[in-house]
Structure 1
Amino acid sequence: MPLATCVALLMVFDWAALPGIVLTLFLRYYFRVGAEMATLLTVIYFTSLFLAWLGYRWQAGNRWSAALGLMNLAWMRVGWLLVFLTVFFMTVLQIVVESGLLPGYLGLVTADFVTLRTLINLQAMIIGILLNSHVIYLVIRMIRQPRYWRVLRMMLRKQRAPGVKTTEMVVWFLVMATMVTLLSVPSISEPFTKILLSDYTLTLLFPVMLFGALRYGYYFISIVWSITLTVLFYNYQGFISETGFVHNLVFVSALMLVYTITLLLMSALSSRQRLLMKKFKSAALLDPVFGLPNLRAFNRDLARHPRSMLCFIRVSDMDVLSRNYGMQLRIQFKQQLAVGLKPFLQSGERVYHLPGYDLVLRLNCEDADMKLQGLHDYLEDFRLLWNGLPLHPNIGLSYCTVYSPVEHLPILLGELSGIAEVSLTTGQPESNKSDHSQVQLEIRDKVDMLHKIQRALDDDRFVLMAQPILGVRGDSYYEILLRMFDGSQDTLITPDKFLPVVHEFGLSYQMDMWVLRHALMFINQNRVRLPSLRFAVNFTPSTLCRPTFTRDFKSLMLEYEIEPFQIVLEVTESHLLQNMKYADFAMRELRAYGCRIAIDDFGTGYASYGRLKAIQADILKIDGSFVRNMLTDSLDAYIVQSICQVARMKHLSIVAEYVETEEQKAALHALGVDYMQGYLVGKPEPLATLLDFP
């Protein structure tokens, strides 16, 4: 106990504790053995403590006073304050006893050093320093600073495993207390009871304490185990047999030493593991570069609140600014913007980092209009001072209200990003959803449609429709249209329902190649009954721009032995604006291959005539919106006439869509239209119905 107390004092007061330790030790032994032997014992204590503390301070440096239970200092403390201190102290004491300066009856060593008694004392000293120094250290800290008990209580809670309940701890304590009580009761003669009150119960105590070490942490188990050992050693007669008492005491003390080291080590490791896990979880919720909560934290916070308002902040032109001034500009801009937004946030509301140049806020729904106006005003006034230059890129703000659980969060953020683009133009917070649940419902419907499309592609649950295109000179071909089965084989989904989802999620190429393969397959399988059958197949500009498209197209044509003249590629003109350069290369190559190119829905895209000068095509299809009312609307009639004149100058064949009456057909024929398409000519029918015609 004296060494444990001395170590605890050094851990609190450092070198300043040595004078008090020396005086106390001298007085302690002075009244027991006299001044001469008290002086000698005090010198032995002082020398051992001085050298051990000197070595520890030298190796630990400025971290010598760090909290107990830290693994990075554990080995230094074990090496210097436990192993070195006890071994050096016992060795010096043995030398002094053997020299005759001290009598052997003091109880620590005898003239014969290698004895069981010496081993017992050494093990007892190690256990005492391991445990009692911790408890005494905590007591001294609380006496010196009464508020330290709050820190200790916080550490006891912090080191406990998640999910530990009071009931569990009470049950564990009752089991442990019962076993300690059994061990402390003097032995009696009944066989069964004698087993329970023997050192056999001591072995059963270890798993109970080990459970506590893993669940309740280092501080808790060190305090409880220290008190437990004190009680057990005070009542050692209850579990140590008098027969072979010394040998039994050696075994029990060694067992206690192993238990102590194991319990302290396991409790320290488990506490450290839980602390690291907590840090890892906290770090996983922060972006390491921007230091802001990330999408994982955003998703977690949405789940914690039944109703939230989301505000999406879109920073325009940040890409250009980042290229000119470096990535540090983007980092500093988002950080300062997030800091400036915090005064507008209530408890539980946060700013979250999104990949790229955007931020998103989760707000409570109370006083939503006032919050939005305050955020908008701040964003309008925000400036980043970068090297003396105030920067203020255009910032868009969109918002919506959602209920937990929020499904398909990335898609929802994509919707808000698109709405924020509108805000960049209007200069006001935008939300085109009047119903708070409409965004989530539309996203859910969109995802359901995506799943249907993917299953249809995998299981061939699409159906090809054919609508005739009749030439004024008697020739004809068919436009291939697409429908999708909805669950059952008798319900079809029209393209306007699923094609937007196909384009949004990048399935255009997969869809186009599915249509092409099955159209070519039909021609190949029915080439005898339907010789020289020609199909017009629609392709998206993204498909034409794919580097491998022309190679894949030719490969399928060769696989099914189809002649190039049998396929007309229809491309929507309004989609070609931003992809003209890449689409033109593919169209040139396919025209050279022998296929014909048709520009679909001509007139609906802007700058159509300018594009027509550069587009390499063979057929021009007039959009049906102009044909439908051309007999009653002079402007539509003039547009159709103008398109026909330009097409003839380019030597293009002309196809008119939505031809529904004989009057329309006659008027179009007079304008020089070469092909008619519409309900007057024929409605879309399943591809297999072509086999029904003679």
Structure 2
Amino acid sequence: MPDKCNVLKNIKIFLLAFCLTVPAILLSRLISPRATIDSSYIFLAWLPLCVMFSVLFLFGRRGVAPMVGGMMLTNEWNFHLPLPQAMVLLFCQTFPVLLVCAIVRWQLGARWRYGIPNQGIWLRVFWLGLMTPFGIKISMHLAGHYLAFPVTISTFFGTGTAIFSIVDLLSLISAALIFTLFFYYPLRMIVSPHYMRIFWRRDVAPYLAKEKRLFTLLWFATLATLLAVLCTPFETKYIAGYLVPVLFIGFTIGVGKISYPLLNFSWALTALFLLSYNRNFLQGVGSEYSLAFILSVLISFSICLLYMARINQRSEWLNRQWHSQALTDPLTQLPNLRALEQFLLQDAGQSVCYLRMENLEFLSRHYGMQMRVHCEREVFRVLQPLLLEKEKIFHLPGSELLLVLTGPETEARLQYMLNVLNNRKIYWNNTGLDMEYGASWGNIRWSPGNLATAVGAIKLAGGAILLASSGACTDPEY
């Protein structure tokens, strides 16, 4: 029975991948930008390569057969080649892709398909973006040396000029580096509609929040205006490729202020429009050498954009680490007073409870500082399961902890926590330590900068070891 379920599951995945691959390859070939060199058409970006990568990223080894089948049907639909030439063409298109993906899996491990824009990105750029195009072109040139192909596609197999082969190679590199994620994200959303919601919440919605909405809308409006100007069908000498640096500056400004998946998708769409509707963009470009230079510029900026995004991502990660360390006590690794201040800003009506270990100072003089840290962490570990949602424990300098409670019956809950602590010993080097605890609590109103004063009022209101009653509650206003 399990074997039958696995077979049905594999058949279902195959049909899903095949039904996605064939239309995607046909559509990608249809929208691939073209140009004419030496009276022969040439792709400026061969987008079926992006679809092949996307299918393998989504389905792994289960996507190999649908990818090969989709390419075979597409070749038959467009070229009607004899069987030997058709098989050789299919081999040249798919084998380098499969070989490079196998190498990447060997180097990155079983999770090579996950975290595509983040994990092992430079390894992916080298193998998927550079070595795959070289592998495809080398295999096609070798095939053209031994087999004859129709005139319409013979230039792709080495019969054309050297500059034709260079532009053809650049078209493969540009497709792999610029447009792979352009197809990967939509295909993944089709396979898993849940990912569409994740993509919206993670990469789109945060940049439409109130504090970032104006910049995001202005950025996209400016990008759309520049694209409309550069891709307009009206010929004018004042609109040409020299305006493209404005686009580069705009995307550079967007790094860090717009998520990289959304930025990459926008850049791919921009490059596709520039290469497809290129009457103004390529105005004055009268030679294939200029065309090769323009493709090289787009490829170079794509790598620079990725590099800037990675630098910004690492910078944000370091800022989060520094911010986290600023909110943490360096010895106990517990949240400190600064973290308490930020936590109290999130909600109102919270009770702040002061907990003191009375004899910890004396014991630490005998057993050392490590024992002190161990005791504070042990108390934190014991009390943590007793807290409700939106409740937290903070560490104060000395032998003191602060509990922020939001539930009802604060005094009874605090008394119960004290009873739990008093009935449990803390062991240090197989020695049981009898700790003495004192506590007080209160509701405070405070202003930024005066939190220490408000907390001090609760500390003084508690008195000695016994839990204070209603008289210990403070409601100072600072």
TM-score bracket, normalised by the shorter chain, equals 0.7 to 0.9
Q: In the alignment, which of 381, 384, 407 is matched to residue 424 of structure 2?
A: 384
1:70-149 mapped onto 2 (5 Å cutoff): 70=118, 72-102=119-149, 105-106=152-153, 109=156, 111=158, 115-149=162-196
In the other structure, the counterpart of 1:487 is: none
Q: Residues 373 and 258 from structure 1, CA distance in 2 versus in 1: closer, same or farther, beyond 3 angstroms?
A: same
1:244-643 mapped onto 2 (5 Å cutoff): 244-287=286-329, 290=332, 292-303=334-345, 309-319=351-361, 326=371, 329-343=374-388, 348-363=390-405, 370-382=409-421, 383-384=423-424, 393-405=435-447, 407=449, 409-410=451-452, 413=455, 416-417=458-459, 420=462, 422-424=463-465, 427-429=466-468, 436-437=475-476
Query: 1 CA distance for matches of 2:288 and 2:122?
Result: 31
Query: 1 CA distance for matches of 2:209 and 2:329?
Result: 25
Show CA shifts across 1:275-327 (max 9, x none).
Answer: 44335424532446655322210122345567754321012233566656945
What SS is found at the alignment partner of 2:117? Answer: coil
What SS is found at the alignment partner of 1:352? Answer: strand
Per-residue deviation, 1:87 = 0.9
What SS is found at the alignment partner of 1:214? Answer: coil
Quick check: 2:182–2:265 contact (8 Å CA) kept in 1? Answer: yes
In the other structure, the counterpart of 2:116 is: 68
Q: In the alignment, which of 92, 102, 106 is matched to residue 44 of structure 1?
A: 92
In the other structure, the counterpart of 1:673 is: none
Q: Residues 295 and 350 from structure 1, CA distance in 2 versus in 1: closer, same or farther, beyond 3 angstroms?
A: same
Q: Give 1 or 2 for the bigger CA radius of gyration.
A: 1
Letter of the aligned partner of 2:115 in structure 1? A
Letter of the aligned partner of 1:84 in structure 2? M
Letter of the aligned partner of 2:464 in structure 1? S
Query: 1 CA distance for matches of 2:158 and 2:169?
Result: 15
Query: 1 CA distance for matches of 2:293 and 2:439?
Result: 75
Quick check: 2:353–2:402 contact (8 Å CA) kept in 1? Answer: yes
Query: 1 CA distance for matches of 2:258 and 2:449?
Result: 38
Would you say 1:57 and 2:105 are equivalent positions?
Answer: yes
What SS is found at the alignment partner of 1:216? Answer: coil
Would you say 1:181 and 2:254 are equivalent positions?
Answer: no
Letter of the aligned partner of 2:61 in structure 1? W
Would you say 1:25 and 2:71 are equivalent positions?
Answer: yes
In the other structure, the counterpart of 1:563 is: none
Per-residue deviation, 1:85 = 0.6
Per chain length, whose mean CA-contact separation is higher, i.e. which structure has more relative contact order (CA < 8 Å, sep 6+)? Answer: 2
What SS is found at the alignment partner of 2:355? Answer: strand
Quick check: 1:398–1:419 contact (8 Å CA) kept in 2? Answer: yes
Report the identity percentage.
Answer: 21
Quick check: 2:52–2:67 contact (8 Å CA) kept in 1? Answer: yes
Q: Residues 198 and 352 from structure 1, CA distance in 2 versus in 1: closer, same or farther, beyond 3 angstroms?
A: same
Would you say 1:5 and 2:45 are equivalent positions?
Answer: no
Query: Which piece of structure 1 moves more, 401-410 or 17-26?
Result: 401-410
Quick check: 2:104–2:112 contact (8 Å CA) kept in 1? Answer: yes
Query: 1 CA distance for matches of 2:319 and 2:301?
Result: 26
What SS is found at the alignment partner of 1:374? Answer: helix
In the other structure, the counterpart of 1:443 is: none
Show CA shifts across 1:620-666 (max 9, x none).
Answer: xxxxxxxxxxxxxxxxxxxxxxxxxxxxxxxxxxxxxxxxxxxxxxx
Quick check: 1:221–1:263 contact (8 Å CA) kept in 2? Answer: no
Per-residue deviation, 1:397 = 1.0
What SS is found at the alignment partner of 2:215? Answer: helix
Per-residue deviation, 1:148 = 0.7
Would you say 1:228 and 2:294 are equivalent positions?
Answer: no
In the other structure, the counterpart of 1:580 is: none
Query: 2 CA distance for matches of 1:33 and 1:288?
Result: 71
Q: Residues 276 and 101 from structure 1, CA distance in 2 versus in 1: closer, same or farther, beyond 3 angstroms?
A: farther
Letter of the aligned partner of 2:122 in structure 1? W
Show CA shifts across 1:61-119 (max 9, x none).
Answer: 1331222221x411110111111111111112112223344456417635367622222
Query: 1 CA distance for matches of 2:80 and 2:222?
Result: 44
Show CA shifts across 1:185-238 (max 9, x none).
Answer: 23435xxxx21x211222221111222233102101111111122222211223
Unmatched 5+ residue regions in structure 1?
441-694
Q: Residues 289 and 46 from structure 1, CA distance in 2 versus in 1: closer, same or farther, beyond 3 angstroms?
A: farther
Q: Residues 146 and 162 from structure 1, CA distance in 2 versus in 1: closer, same or farther, beyond 3 angstroms?
A: closer
Query: 2 CA distance for matches of 1:139 and 1:393?
Result: 60
Quick check: 1:156–1:217 contact (8 Å CA) kept in 2? Answer: yes
Letter of the aligned partner of 1:374 in structure 2? R
What SS is found at the alignment partner of 1:64? Answer: coil
Letter of the aligned partner of 1:133 in structure 2? T
Q: Residues 396 and 379 from structure 1, CA distance in 2 versus in 1: closer, same or farther, beyond 3 angstroms?
A: same
Query: 2 CA distance for matches of 1:291 and 1:124?
Result: 53
TM-score w.r.t. structure 2 length?
0.78
TM-score w.r.t. structure 1 length?
0.55
**Larger strand proportion, structure 1 or 2?**
1
What SS is found at the alignment partner of 1:236? Answer: coil
Q: What's the RMSD between the two structures over aligned residues?
A: 3.2
Quick check: 1:400–1:436 contact (8 Å CA) kept in 2? Answer: yes
Quick check: 2:144–2:157 contact (8 Å CA) kept in 1? Answer: yes
Unmatched 5+ residue regions in structure 2?
1-46
Letter of the aligned partner of 2:136 in structure 1? F
Letter of the aligned partner of 1:66 in structure 2? Y
